[in-house]
């Protein structure tokens, strides 16, 4: 089933109303026949739920700088963890530690990170720690500024896909989990393109990306007619990609699956848990997926 806003549950939980720009959400159910009934069991959860008290364990029962690093990886620094959800809000961090960031603003708060607050889809809520409502995606604004300015900042109500480093933030208590930093990010919404409703996917791959395969599914708006054909408009790889291989397919001719891969590369991680950006690898591109009669 493909419809804007899906069943509206995650939009509602995010405090977001259905609009013309709401993303198309795809849901699949097992049916006993062509006309149902359908088994409405939720999709299987993704990831392993941290055990009760895991935050205190990972953060050594205190906060940075009194023992643990500021950010502690839960499943390894280079194990990419995916998450999909609805953007609740985004903006500059109010305060950051200048000793754990490469680029930062003026004192006394030294703002550096761009924070995206996301309400994950149910199957990704195993990624929560002490936080149980939203999960933050954090990355230094310096590294995403051109992407946001050129393709669009995260909008409230956007569908977001990220794959990156799943961590406990030991800079404060309660011990919340985050994707910090993301290696791959896609922001999706509905817009009009060539006079037709289209899913716009703004896709970014950053200098943290270790090279492991990452798949992003882009679903068009609901099909306009039974004989409509799927159309994909994408940038030239040579204009958008650096040291990243981009492939795409159209499973069952119903949606687009974009796959990113690259040669293995492990960027440094400092003693305080900061993952260091490395140049020479990245992707920035806007994709349009829609139906043509």
pLDDT higher than threshold 80 for residue 1: no
Share of the chain above pLDDT 70, in %: 98
Give a yes or no: residue 33 inside a domain. no
Q: What pLDDT sits at residue 26?
A: 87
Q: What pLDDT sits at residue 253?
A: 86
Give the SS3 label for residue 244: coil
**From CA 30, how far away is CA 18, in angstroms rounded?**
26
Q: What pLDDT sits at residue 102?
A: 94
3-state helix, strand, coil in the chain (%, to 5): 15, 40, 50
pTM: 0.94
Give a yes or no: residue 164 inside a domain. yes
Mean pLDDT across 66-70 = 93
Give the SS3 label for residue 171: coil
- Domain hosting 262: range is 2-28+52-292
How many domains is the chain partitioned into structurally? 1
| Tokens representing residue 280 in the block | 């020479």
pLDDT higher than threshold 90 for residue 38: no
Beta bridge partners of 214: 260
Q: What pLDDT sits at residue 53?
A: 81
pLDDT in tens, 268-293: 999 999 999 999 999 999 999 999 98
Q: What pLDDT sits at residue 47?
A: 65
Share of the chain above pLDDT 90, in %: 85
Give a yes or no: residue 37 inside a domain. no
Q: What pLDDT sits at residue 244?
A: 98
**Which residue pairs, CB below 8 angstroms and at least 24 apart, start in 19-23?**
19/157, 20/190, 21/155, 21/157, 21/189, 21/190, 21/191, 22/157, 22/189, 22/190, 23/157, 23/158, 23/159, 23/188, 23/189, 23/190, 23/199
Give a yes or no: residue 16 inside a domain. yes
**From CA 140, how far away is CA 94, in angstroms rounded?**
13
pLDDT in tens, 209-260: 999 999 999 999 999 898 999 999 999 999 999 999 999 999 988 899 999 9
């Amino acid at each position: 089933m493909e419809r804007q806003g899906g069943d509206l549950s995650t939009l509602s939980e995010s405090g977001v109303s259905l609009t013309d720009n709401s993303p198309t959400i795809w849901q699949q159910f097992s049916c006993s026949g062509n006309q149902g009934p359908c088994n409405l069991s939720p999709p299987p959860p993704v990831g392993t739920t941290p055990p009760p008290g895991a935050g205190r364990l990972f953060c050594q029962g205190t906060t940075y700088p009194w023992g643990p690093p500021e950010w502690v990886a839960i499943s390894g620094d280079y194990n990419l963890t995916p998450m999909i959800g609805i953007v609740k809000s985004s903006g500059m961090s109010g305060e950051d530690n200048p000793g754990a960031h490469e680029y930062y603003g003026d004192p006394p708060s030294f703002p550096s990170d761009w924070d995206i607050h996301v309400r994950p889809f149910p199957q990704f809520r195993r990624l929560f720690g002490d936080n149980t409502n939203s999960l933050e995606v954090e990355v230094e604004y310096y590294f995403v500024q051109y992407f946001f300015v050129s393709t669009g900042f995260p909008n409230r109500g956007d569908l977001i896909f990220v794959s990156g480093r799943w961590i406990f933030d030991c800079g404060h208590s309660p011990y919340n989990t985050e994707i910090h930093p993301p290696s791959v990010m896609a922001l999706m919404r509905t817009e009009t393109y060539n006079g037709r409703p289209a899913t716009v996917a703004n896709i970014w791959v950053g200098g943290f990306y270790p090279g492991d395969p990452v798949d992003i599914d882009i679903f068009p708006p609901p099909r306009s007619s039974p004989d409509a054909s799927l159309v994909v408009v994408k940038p030239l790889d040579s204009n958008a990609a650096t040291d990243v291989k981009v492939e795409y397919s159209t499973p069952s001719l119903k949606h687009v699956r974009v796959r990113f891969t690259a040669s293995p590369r492990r960027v440094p991680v400092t003693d305080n848990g900061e993952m260091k950006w490395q140049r020479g690898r990245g992707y920035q591109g806007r994709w349009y997926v829609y139906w043509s009669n």
